[in-house]
Amino acid sequence: MEKRRLIYLDNNATTPCDPRVVDAMLPYFYEMHGNAASRSHQYGWEAEDAVDYAREQIAKLIQSEDKEIIFTSGATESNNLALKGVYEMYAKKGNHIITTEVEHKAILDTCKHLEKMGAEVTYLKIQEDGMLNLAELEAAIRPTTILVSVMWANNETGVIQDMKGIADICAKHGVLFHSDATQAVGKIPTYPREIGIHLMSFTAHKMYGPKGVGALYVSRKNPRVKVTAQMDGGGHERGMRSGTLNVPGIVGFGKAAEIARLEMEQDNKRLSALRNYLEAELTKLEETKINGNTQSRMPHVSNISFKHVEGEGLMMTFNQKVAVSSGSACTSASLEPSYVLVGMGLGDDLAHSSIRFSLGRFTEASDVEEAIQMVRNGVNHMRELSPIWEMYKDGVDLTKIEWSAH
């Protein structure tokens, strides 16, 4: 089969499995196929040992205790377990949750579900650079607030929130702090204990591991956090998440975490240089804008708006050659403009004209070079065809035009 020469710049949606991860997983599909809960024979012990070792590898990556890692089917389940689990467990203390308008749908939709169950949820707006205003966060805390949930790094813009600042506010008011750190873990240092995060969701497939396996970090001391199980059964994972463990997936997750811990720094140096080059070249095109805070963001992500060019249409010009996205993978099928960008104050036109580039471990300089060329050609081609661009070039103030519906 001929190797596809598709340039993959959509690593925030998912990453390819590192071949070293696949090698680590293979024996657990067939030779050592035991159930980690089978305590009466060698197969079960081997599987349990493999799970224990993976738990150690993952704990080391985030500098936590092994027992603070609860395995799940992915970050969406981890987010559900964290929010619903805390809501049920701490119901006597209160029913108020604070989050932001630009969280991943796995948080927003879980909050919507909890509102039907009687939760009160405050959705904080963010500033134009994608950062949360900490004074507004503190002002939103009530005596009934039990949880603050803020993502570490945004999936669309790569903007990194001031996690320490948020944690300090939560500590001051005795509120639990959860972070959906799906886009951050394995790519930048994420140490929940050091920062003061009590629950943290993440997943293997965003860090060159397999799909379908994730984890929830749950603090065991200062404070000892408990969550009510959302999946009942044999009481696996310290009673917080029942179900036969996905041993090959967990082994792969562990290996991916180990590689990330050892290679993160060199990966980031290379990727931020490539990302900066991509931005420098693409912003030579007139009327382009980098979205989000450029000082506090992930090293491999760039979200760029090309004015008067429709993002989905632009992607069609190179769709068979470059894989990128507009919006996040979970919502990109809809024609709505990105709610993250709209939340940052971009008008629908700019939000519609944005493309997210997310580089990864297997991205080469030649890929970036080729992508720049294709995007440049695509933007120029679409602007040539666009009457709006022509009007803009002629100096027409497009905000003053009343477009007739007839």
Q: Which residues are catalytic?
A: 330
Amino acid at 162: D
In the numeric block, which tokens belong to residue 365?
């300089």
Q: How far apart are CA 135 and CA 118, in angstroms?
A: 26
Structural contact between residues 67 and 220, judged by C-beta atoms closer than 8 angstroms? yes
Taking phi first (over 0 means left), then psi (-120 to 50 degrees means alpha), and beta for anything else, what does residue 222 get?
Answer: left
Structural contact between residues 13 and 182, judged by C-beta atoms closer than 8 angstroms? no
Question: Residue 2 contacts by C-beta under 8 Å, 6 or more apart in sequence?
Answer: none
Q: How far apart are CA 102 and CA 383, in angstroms?
A: 30
Nearest to 363 by CA among 319, 282, 299: 299
Q: How far apart are CA 40 and CA 206, in angstroms?
A: 35
Residue 358 has phi, psi (to 5 degrees) of: -130, 110
Taking phi first (over 0 means left), then psi (-120 to 50 degrees means alpha), and beta for anything else, what does residue 69 get?
Answer: beta
Q: How far apart are CA 111 and CA 122, in angstroms?
A: 10
223 cis-preceded (ω within 30 degrees of 0): yes
Q: How far apart are CA 178 and CA 80, in angstroms?
A: 11
